[in-house]
Structure 1
Amino acid sequence: MVKFVYEIVPHDGGWAYRAGGVYSESFATHDEALEAVRIVMAEQQLGDEPVTISYQDENGKWVEEYSDGGDRPEVEVVDNYAANPAPSA
């Protein structure tokens, strides 16, 4: 199963969430960044329609797989600033 870890961090004079080294837009407050990442996480948990997926593997062979649309990633928020949400200089 895929796991996404989001981290709440000071960024660009405000706050952002970061995943895989990529930052979100900046938010004015810690709480706004936390709320934004919670929305993103909730959207990731929505299932999708069942589909057949076709792709070419590393050997050039075409493969078809069925996806039931229910395999959602595990998500986690790491917030080391929750107790003291003030950006440090």
Structure 2
Amino acid sequence: MTKVVYQVVRHDGGWAYRLDGAYSETFPTHEDALTAARIVAAEQQVGGEPEEISWQDAKGVWHTEYSDGGDRPEAEVVDGEEGEARRA
């Protein structure tokens, strides 16, 4: 199973959460950023309805895949900078 980790960090004069090097909006307080990260992590784990997905690759070829709607990643929030992280 895929796992995503949202990390709450200081950013741009406030606080944000980060995933794979991409930052959220900046929040004025640590608690605001932590709350937002927890909400996003929870939403990341919500499954959907089964459906077929069609997409076009870089070569212009169309593909169709079936998604059962339950193939969601495990999501975690880590509170703190590298080296001082603690699970939130």
- Name the TM tier (shorter chain): 0.7 to 0.9
Counterpart of 2:44?
Answer: 44
Q: Secondary structure at the match of 1:40?
A: helix
Code of the residue aligned with 2:45 in structure 1: it is: Q
Counterpart of 1:16?
Answer: 16
* Residues in 1 aligned to 2:79 and 2:17: alpha-carbon distance in whole angstroms: 9
Q: Which runs of 5+ in 1 are unaligned?
A: 82-89
Identity, % of aligned positions? 65
| Alpha-carbon distance, 1:23 to partner | 0.6
Counterpart of 1:7?
Answer: 7
Counterpart of 1:76?
Answer: 76
* Residues in 2 aligned to 1:33 and 1:76: alpha-carbon distance in whole angstroms: 14
Q: Specify the structure having the higher radius of gyration (Cα).
A: 1
Q: Which runs of 5+ in 2 are unaligned?
A: 82-88
Q: Is this contact kept in 1: 2:8–2:17, CA < 8 A?
A: yes
Task: Count residues in correspondence.
Answer: 82
Code of the residue aligned with 1:25 in structure 2: it is: E
Counterpart of 2:30?
Answer: 30
> Once superposed, what is the RMSD of the aligned Cα atoms?
2.2
* Residues in 2 aligned to 1:64 and 1:55: alpha-carbon distance in whole angstroms: 7
**Post-superposition CA distance 1:36-86 (Å, at most 9, x none):** 0111111112111111123456887654322110111111112136xxxxx
The normalised TM-score by structure 2 is 0.76
The normalised TM-score by structure 1 is 0.75
